[in-house]
Chain A
Amino acid sequence: MFCRGLISAWIAHCFATALILLGGHARADEPVVAAASDLKFALEDVAQAFTLKTGHVVRLTFGSSGTFATQIRNGAPFELYLSADEDHVLKLHAEGLTRDRGALYAIGRIVLIVPPDSTLPLDGELDGLAAWLAAGRIKRFAIANPEHAPYGQRAEEALRHAGLWDAIKPRLVLGENVSQAAQFAISGSADGGIIALSLAISPQMIPLGRHALIPADWHAPLRQRMVLLRQAGATAQHFYAYLQTADARVIMRRYGFVLADENG
């Protein structure tokens, strides 16, 4: 019947499919770096400087630290991982997925941020926020999702510390990562939010919002750790080392990524 023709056509089709799937883009050594989204602006600058200096290129992808950790466990091909919370790094290390315990790159801070024209009294102790909450003037408030974003967890801790969690919980808008939370907070659809300091002071964000630093002892410290993963190649290792040089630290400090032993 037509069977013969049909079977040969089908085999040819499967062959073509296999070729396409198994082939794929031949990539020179351009490692993929997974970084917490609060590093968006800072890391792009560092990467640029790195390329200028060494001629090597790294590909950056930003997102929630928790999500990256899960993806790494599922075989994501990242070579360097910068997490906003060292817990993720240490767990991965315990599971044998990393080369070593990595290195701290910053202590994170959180800020309260509001749109530029907001009349909410802005202070790091959140008294203004408390007053507006009591008066029912807070309609929506943005934080990163505490389930998998470190900045979200810290925001929750700070709000609990201020005794505002229960009141503000029904008003929360959760960002998938702290970048998205920042975007919600200044978009005008929310009355404000709690986001990363590093995002708030980046040149792109400055004109878009006003912020106040929340005391560091209101939440567990955000020890931000980076680590090379098992499959890290030469360029990734280079970049990791570069991140710890003085040149890179200058850029990082400019964006608010400060280490304990640095003035900031």
Chain B
Amino acid sequence: MDWTALSLSLQLGALTVLLLLPVAIFVGRLLAYRRFAGKPLVEALLAVPLVLPPTVVGYYLLVGFGGQSLLGQWFERMAGHSLVFHFSGLVLASFLVNIPFAVQPIQRAFESIPHDVRDAAACCGMSFWQTLWRIELPLAWPGVLTALVLTFAHTLGEFGVVLMVGGSIPGETKTVSIAIYDRVQGMDFTAAGQMSLLLLLFSVTVLAVASGLGRRFGRWHGRPGH
């Protein structure tokens, strides 16, 4: 049982969610409520990580942020260490790869708020922030929760990108999914089985809790009767 790897995975998941969620809320809201030229293209670009194989994404990240790239070299000067093969590289890769998992549920949730409600909120004298905080988010909250859960669970399971960008360095970038793979290669099937089961139970629990919470809060809002 590789507790370091598990702790790394949990940290990675938490950090990704923390950094991605606010961005996803604003982007999701923007896509839900604004029309602009090129919107289909933007939506398609945001969805790219869904269809590209993780190794392809990992490859481009390596090329884009690796030691040979401008960005990578700039980062190394700033931080004293490289972006790739380092935990921060994983965070960045995880952030980018999870964008569609976070943005899409949130966008759908904002879209499902009846526009009458939003119109009324605007005419009630509420500022943008007041409307977002008191009216829109409480109503879009199941979508935000879904985004949170999907992002976290997806990050826990990420393998291809993490391996390419992180390099499986124990205590740094060797997340639990890589540790499992490693144990299998080392013929240590007991450890691999233990970690896999733990991951499975954890994911199922998180998903069940989130689903239950979502339904409970969903019961608040009926639809305005016609």
Contact = CB atoms under 8 A, between A and B. Distances in A.
A and B, direct touch (CB closer than 8 Å): yes
Interface of A: 1-2, 5-6, 9, 13, 16-17, 20-25, 27, 30, 32, 37, 40-41, 59-63, 71, 74-77, 177, 179-180, 182-183, 204-205, 208
B91 A20 contact: yes
Contacts of B84: 74-76
Q: Which 6 A-B pairs have the closest CB atoms?
A: A75-B67, A2-B128, A21-B88, A22-B79, A179-B185, A59-B170
B53 to A, nearest CB: 15
B185 A204 contact: no
Nearest to A13: B22
Contacts of A23: 88
B171 A61 contact: no
Given A62-B182, A75-B72, 13 more contacts: A20-B15, A20-B88, A20-B91, A21-B88, A22-B88, A24-B81, A27-B172, A74-B66, A75-B68, A177-B185, A183-B184, A205-B187, A208-B187
A2 B26 CA distance: 13
Interface of B: 15, 19, 22-23, 26, 62, 66-68, 72, 75-76, 78-79, 81-88, 91-92, 127-129, 167-172, 174, 182, 184-188
Nearest to B170: A59
A13 B95 CA distance: 13
B185 A180 contact: yes
A99 B19 CA distance: 40
Nearest to B79: A22
The listed residue with most A CB atoms (<10 A of its CB), out of B15, B23, B174, B186, is: B186
Contacts of B127: 2
Contact of B19 (A20, A27, A182): A20
Given A27-B171, A37-B185, A9 B68 contact: no
A77 B187 contact: no
Nearest to A205: B187
Contact of B174 (A17, A61, A183): A61
B85 A75 contact: yes
B51 to A, nearest CB: 24
A71 B88 contact: no
Contacts of B167: 61, 71, 76
Contacts of B184: 183
A205 B189 CA distance: 12
B196 to A, nearest CB: 16
Contacts of A204: 186-188
Contacts of A177: 185
8 contacts: A2-B127, A13-B19, A20-B19, A20-B91, A23-B88, A75-B68, A179-B185, A180-B185
The listed residue with most B CB atoms (<10 A of its CB), out of A41, A59, A60, A204, is: A59
Contact of B88 (A1, A24, A180): A24
A5 B19 contact: no
A75 B72 CA distance: 10
A264 to B, nearest CB: 23
Contacts of A62: 182, 185
Contacts of A179: 185-186
A71 B7 CA distance: 25
Nearest to A75: B67
B172 A32 contact: yes
A2 B129 contact: yes
A257 to B, nearest CB: 17
A205 B186 CA distance: 9
A30 B170 CA distance: 10
A1 B15 contact: no
Given A40-B186, A75-B85, A9 B168 contact: no
